[in-house]
Each structure stands twice: as structure tokens, then as C-alpha cells.
Homo-oligomer: A and B are copies of this chain.
Amino acid sequence: MLDRLSELRKERKWSLQETADQLGIAKSTYAGYESGYREPSLLSLTQLAELFETTVDFLLGRTDETYGGHGVTEITEIIHQKNVSLFLDGKPLTPDEIIDFIAFIRTKRELKPKRSLVLEK
């Protein structure tokens, strides 16, 4: 259930012992959480999320977003979502508006490099 613990710890190049020390628990206890042999208390769970600077939902595998609140959003993916997530002036963006926007910005981004190339010459 807490498969992601191992991943998060290795990314930071921490040993089981170092990680356990930071949490104030025994190495075997922490190892138990990673292996799934043991479950942390709710307090320990929140401490794990804080230590790894992520959400409990991510630790539990309920979401792939490493941090909640203002999630990182790839606009091209918004079109396919059922729930509207972007608002302007209190009104939800329509799929057409999003599509127009994507085209608009892509065009601007294509124009920019060309101009800078011209200026460099």
C-alpha cells in the first residue's frame, strides 16, 4: 500500500536507517512500512508525507500528483477531462476556448525563436 515510500527514499539517496532516524522510529519499523508488512499510524502517515514533501494521497497511490493543492497541469490534457478545472473571471473555460488558446500560444512560441534568430544575425 505504501509502495511509493521506497521510490521516494531512493530518489533522495537515504538509507532505511537515516530515514527512520528523521522520523524518530526504529529502522525495522520503517522497513516494515516500505515492505507493506506494517502500517503506520495516522500520525506517522502524515509525518511520512511531510518528510517526503508530498501528499498522503500520493503515498497511498490514490493520485499520481506528487503535491496537491495547485497541481501541475498540462493544458493539452484538460480538454479530455470531464471536470472543468480552469476558470477565468469566475467562468469555466470551454473546450473551444482551450483549443483556441493552445493554438494561440503554440503560434506565438513558433514565431519567437525565428525572430531571435533573425536578431542574432
Contact = CB atoms under 8 A, between A and B. Distances in A.
A109 B91 CA distance: 10
Interface in A59-115: 60, 62-63, 65, 68-76, 78, 81, 83-91, 93, 97, 100-102, 104-106, 108-109
Nearest to A104: B104
Contacts of A78: 70
Interface string A11-55: 000000000000000000000000000010111011001000001
Contact of A73 (B55, B81, B85, B101): B85
The secondary-structure label for the interface of chain A is: mixed
Contacts of A45: 42, 60
A72 B49 CA distance: 22
B46 A55 contact: no
A86 B93 CA distance: 14
Given A73-B85, A90-B74, A101-B104, A55 B68 contact: yes
